[in-house]
Structure 1
Amino acid sequence: MTDVRTVDYGITLLRVSLGVLLLAHGLLKIFVFTLPGTVGFFQSLGYPGVMAYLVVAVEVVAGLMMIAGLWTRWAALAAIPVLIGATMVHLGNGWLFSNPKGGWEFPAFWTVALAAQALLGDGAFRASALLPGNQPRPAPAA
């Protein structure tokens, strides 16, 4: 049985974890691989270079939004196509993420976790609570 007293904290843990992962991957592409290097990698896979900029933007912006708890459902939904793309890139490498060049296990799981987050919403400690009209409403009387 679900403990309704702690469910928002579990949702928050998932939200912040996913946000940190997204942000870390976006910043990795900016500061370690560099944007030109990321563009080159995307082009080496047969994708247009502009997709690299879109992916980095989604990872950074959606990551920050999820960490803050601001429009979490939309941020998670925006990140799902990025992770589906990552899954597709890794399909030929086998299932296990520890395989050479990384398998599709981690990006596929991440896609499912983002879908769950989109269904669950913000959880506790969310910036969206500060927006007008987003304060918790009392449950209707039975």
Structure 2
Amino acid sequence: MTQVQPSSSAYAALLLRVSLGIMYIAHSLILKAMTFTLAGTAQYFESLGLPAFLAYATFWAELIGGILLVLGVQSRWVALALLPVLFGAAWVHIGNGWVFSAQGGGWEYPLYLIVLSVAQALLGDGAYALKPSRPLSLAPASLKAAA
């Protein structure tokens, strides 16, 4: 029996999935927990008019989502589920300008991560995923029936 080798696009999706997952893990653990602390992050959320509990929910969403992405567990859906966190980050930084090195951070990095997360959802899990996602169905049911 011949073993099927993953295509280069499967490896590309793997690389995207793992790097995106590591970014989410680092953003939760290093930035929110270790640099600003969770209490400090909660205070920052409150200063924006957001409830403090949302900081903790964001921390856990990024940490768990990042781990799931690295492992390849339902990566399409995890990437899509993390989009609200990224849209929130873009909203928070929109008044600071484009460059993330600007005081308070810019909005280009959250926007870039939105694009990467959507690309991950479209590409799928890639090679070596523990629990691959079902494919996204972008075509209307009427077009599928005609095919």
TM-score, normalized by the shorter chain, greater than 0.5? yes
Q: 2:41 aligns with which of 27, 38, 41?
A: 38
Partner of 1:20: 22
Partner of 1:139: none
**1:94 partner letter:** G
SS in 2 for 1:127: coil
Percentage of identical aligned residues: 47
| Inter-partner Cα distance in structure 1 for 2:127 and 2:72 | 8
Matched, 1:97 2:107: no
| Inter-partner Cα distance in structure 1 for 2:12 and 2:81 | 22
| Inter-partner Cα distance in structure 2 for 1:84 and 1:95 | 15
Paired residues in the alignment total 128
| Inter-partner Cα distance in structure 1 for 2:34 and 2:100 | 23
**2:41 partner letter:** T
Matched, 1:122 2:130: no
| Inter-partner Cα distance in structure 1 for 2:28 and 2:74 | 19
Given the two structures, how large is their TM-score scaled by the length of structure 2? Answer: 0.82
**1:81 partner letter:** P
Structure 1 segments of 4+ aligned residues over 6 angstroms from their partners = none
Matched, 1:110 2:113: yes
What RMSD over aligned residues (CA atoms) do the two structures have, in Å?
1.8
| Mapping of residues 69-80 of structure 1, within 5 Å | 69-80=72-83
| Inter-partner Cα distance in structure 1 for 2:33 and 2:103 | 23
| Inter-partner Cα distance in structure 2 for 1:88 and 1:34 | 21
| Inter-partner Cα distance in structure 2 for 1:102 and 1:16 | 24
| Inter-partner Cα distance in structure 1 for 2:113 and 2:50 | 22
Structure 1 unpaired stretches of 5+? 134-142
Given the two structures, how large is their TM-score scaled by the length of structure 1? Answer: 0.84
**1:71 partner letter:** Q
